[in-house]
A and B are shown apart, each in its own frame.
Chain A
């Protein structure tokens, strides 16, 4: 049963895609609780299934993908059972909204900014005509866009990338959602703008009492915004914990490897660390720990049986056999321990 403080709860979720007759196991049994009011970051490399995982909560999977097992609990309902568009329309925008990665393409180029925000207002705030217009302008002002009256009538191409991302956020917020999913909200933006956008989302979260889920592969972003981190690898969550727990006391070898790849931890003159090998091919069933083939310290059992979650602290758990009492003592790499001693987050 889902945790009672969780606003959104995934339970043994499985998602499969059919591609040219082959079945791809994109999500392989994920259980994760998203707590009311928190901001959770899901990190992982490209193709680990971060986006697919969160999209499933909005019914936005591509036509060839489907939830084949498990539950998604939201407000007492199991979203995994939703079949019709009508059911999903009670969730999309209204309850869970999304900010997408590329602001350059996520706005309709032929509609004014105002129209696109008003569309959300009309759908979700029950306002009409002049009141809806007013609400849309308020949304623009709320995301820090000056002269909303003038901007309202402008088209996306008259906005810069950062400004457009503000508009996308305004649209999401104008839906009055309870959960906001930010799918790599800063990846396509200039570094100087990234911090502004993150600050904006944080401020809105506080003001509107939102729960936010960040999807990112930028650990700098994570350190900046997240209360909790879920590390994803090959369609599964391998480690979950509070931000400082995952950064300073990581338990899963994949988390070690991920943190080791941070440029900030590199030593001048030495090559940056990169994880050897490639992620497993999800067209085949994965046996044991999906990361084992790339893990130089993998145990024999890692290749045979999928590890369960071992609880490290009440808020921290990891899916690795290393935490089994019978396992040999394997220490994380030297620089990971240094990270703990230095006591600073790896700021991007």
Chain B
């Protein structure tokens, strides 16, 4: 197990290294305005001096090396536009808690609603009219088919009319948390319900369920101890990925509700061409994504004994 995790960790680091290099290379292609506060008024010599101070006139390999050294030491440079002279990490650290709070709450909410919904739908496929399954499918299809941006706006527009609710987020008023959290959760609810239903229906038709019935296990217990348990394993792999999706999704929701979180920050940084900040943010997202996949893989390996850790021939 330790060996497996170690291997996966090394591979993740390699991926991260490649991503950092690509981000670095891309940023060299960005216009240099992003490094100066009042680029228009500066003379050519001033710009040259400025670039030299930032180390941007060095040969590329040396720049990459510098960048790498900085990254390893946690130094990603200072912001040149957003908040001039402030360490980008400090800016990000100030924003993360809010995004994380909203993202994780919505994910928890999605699991809390999506999983029971999936179980309900799967159970309903065994009844005569399959009403639960049909209604659930309608919900899933609607949510999956409509671009999230559209129902986000609908929710904001109509639900904010309710007393106590607001078009905008205010961290101090708990009611204003509800709309963005629900908006974010909606997609995940549909996602989890759909996949859990699918896996549970698959599992319920397997022979071991028949054997469990034949040995006299009550249906409710089979459903819980065998079918749900086994159907949940492939879902576990999705959960860390969901964490990432929540963060990405919040790009939009956060700017809709004017939430001072991570998502809005990236949009902002790109708009004002604050190169160092963009660089650090992209890196952070990449790192989170990779970590999510890594955790997903490890969870799968822990839960499914058939996954032979790290071996190619694995007897599936």
Residues of A within 8 A of B233 (CB): 110
Q: Which residues of A contact B208 (CB under 8 A)?
A: 105-109
Give the segment of B137-145, B159-167, B211-219 that binds chain A.
Answer: B211-219
- Chain B CB within 10 Å, residue with most, of A60, A94, A100, A108: A108
Q: Give Cα A296–Cα B230 distance, bound, in whole angstroms.
A: 53
Q: B13 an interface residue at 8 Å Cβ cutoff?
A: no
Give residues 140-171 of A contacting B (CB, 8 Å).
155, 157, 168, 171
> Do A157 and B219 touch (CB < 8 A)?
no
Asked if B215 contacts A171 (CB within 8 A), the reply is yes
Contact in complex: A123, B217 (CB < 8 Å): yes
Give the residues from 108 to 139 in chain A that come closer than 8 angstroms, CB to CB, to chain B. Answer: 108-111, 119-120, 123-124
Count, chain A residues at interface, CB 8 A: 30
Q: Are A119 and B217 in contact (CB under 8 A)?
A: yes
Contact check, B216 vs A100: say whether CB atoms are below 8 A apart: no
Number of A-B pairs whose CB atoms are under 8 Å?
77
Can you list, as one digit per residue, whether each of B124-143 has a CB less than 8 Å from chain A (1) or not (0)?
Answer: 00100000000000000000
Given contacts A85-B219, A105-B206, A105-B208, contact A110 B305 (CB under 8 A): yes
A93 to B212, CA, bound (A): 9
A89 an interface residue at 8 Å Cβ cutoff?
yes
* Interface membership of chain B positions 188-228, coded 1 if the CB is closer than 8 angstroms to chain A and 0 otherwise: 00000000000000000011101111111111000001100
Partner of B215, one of A63, A85, A123, A155: A123
- Least Cβ distance of A131 to chain B in Å? 19
With an 8 Å Cβ cutoff, the count of chain B residues facing the other chain is 24
CB distance from A104 to the nearest CB of B (A): 9
A69 to B216, CA, bound (A): 25
B163 smallest CB distance to A (angstroms): 48
Q: Are A93 and B230 in contact (CB under 8 A)?
A: no
Interface: B315 (CB within 8 A): yes
Q: What residue of chain A has the Cβ atom nearest to residue B216's Cβ? A: A93
A100 touches B210 (CB 8 A): yes
Chain B facing A: main interface SS: helix
Q: Are A60 and B215 interface neighbours, CB within 8 A?
A: no
Residues of the B chain whose Cβ atoms lie less than 8 Å from the Cβ of A213: none
A56 to B230, CA, bound (A): 28
Tell me whether B226 and A108 are in contact (CB under 8 A). Answer: yes
Q: Are the CB atoms of A155 and B306 closer together than 8 Å?
A: yes
* Nearest CB in chain B: distance from A118 CB, A: 11
Give the CA-CA distance A109 to B230 in the complex, in Å. 9
A175 within 8 A of B: yes
| Nearest neighbor of A105 in chain B, beta-carbon distance | B207
Q: Is the CB of B211 within 8 A of A107?
A: yes
Quick one: which of B213, B215, B303 has the most chain A CB within 10 A?
B215
Q: Identify the interface centre among B126, B214, B225, B303: most chain A CB within 10 Å of its CB.
A: B214
